[in-house]
Amino acid sequence: MKKKIAIVTGGSSGIGLAIAKKFTEQNIHTIILGRGQEKLNEAASLLGANCEAIAFDVTNLGGLPELITGIIKKHGHIDILVNNAGINLKKSALEVTDQEFQQIILTNLTSVFAITREVAKNMVERKSGSIINISSMAAQYGLPFVVAYAASKTAIEGITRTLAVELSPHGVRVNSIAPGFIATKMSSTALNGDPERKQKVLSRTPMGRLGDPGDIANTAYFLASDDSTFMTGTVIPVDGGNSIGF
């Protein structure tokens, strides 16, 4: 059996790092992408020999085909793609500039499409592959002050379904995970210093706490594995009940 090869965008911290940790522990060769070299180095030394870190900004759309071709040349194939890299902007919708809106869409949506297209070409050729997109509660209900982020994540669920239908005949599965509020740098930036919002989050989460990045990693591993071979086009909330909480 050939060792599986995975790409995890934004794999140097938070949820992406937890996913990369789970994959490397399961003997999947995991390529993590991120912008900060120092963060990548730290992650790579934590994850060990099954991890390969590449400094790459996913908004560099023009550089993506060469990046993916290089990875395929080196490893022969890509089995798993986790589109995890993302940024948030918490601001009143009336104050968000066009440039800010575009930057969120470029990072969280356009780059996801562009990297998926390049990786899926190889997966379709090999008639095998699992693509996992990271969505959000912002795509499940009206979360105020994150208008661009909500637009990007809602579209992620749309492209998940479209790609699942288009790629199914070619043996490629596409699914999404919608994390609830998970303890990472992104959520602490959004919630710390805003006790009212944090209280609202916790009060509508039946389990009454933030999630752990490892909770998302376990679901990503399930979707990447042969235990989920009849699943495609789904959006799986991993949220302590936040999306159904009162």
* Residues binding ligand NDP (CB under 6 A): 9-10, 12-16, 33-36, 39, 57-59, 84-87, 107, 134, 136, 179, 181-182, 184-187
Structure tokens at 194: 């805003």
The nearest distance, CB 230 to ligand NDP, in angstroms, is 25
221 is catalytic: no
CB 58 to ligand NDP: min, Å: 4
Whichever of 123 and 210 has its CB closer to ligand NDP, that residue is: 210
- Chain-centre distance of CA 60, in angstroms? 17
Which residue, 72 or 183, has its beta carbon nearer to ligand NDP? 183
- Sheet containing 129-134: which strands, arranged edge to edge? 51-55, 29-34, 5-9, 80-83, 129-134, 172-179, 235-238
Judged by CB, which is closer to ligand NDP: 13, or 130? Answer: 13
Cβ-contact 116, 40 below 8 angstroms:
no
- CA dist., res. 21 & res. 12, Å (int): 10
Q: Report the nearest approach of ligand NDP to the CB of residue 108 (Å).
A: 6
C-beta closer to ligand NDP: residue 129 or 179 = 179
Q: Where are the alpha helices (DSSP H) in the chain?
A: 14-25, 37-47, 64-75, 98-105, 111-126, 147-167, 185-191, 195-203, 213-224
Q: Nearest residue to ligand NDP, using CB?
A: 14
List, by residue number, the catalytic residues: 149
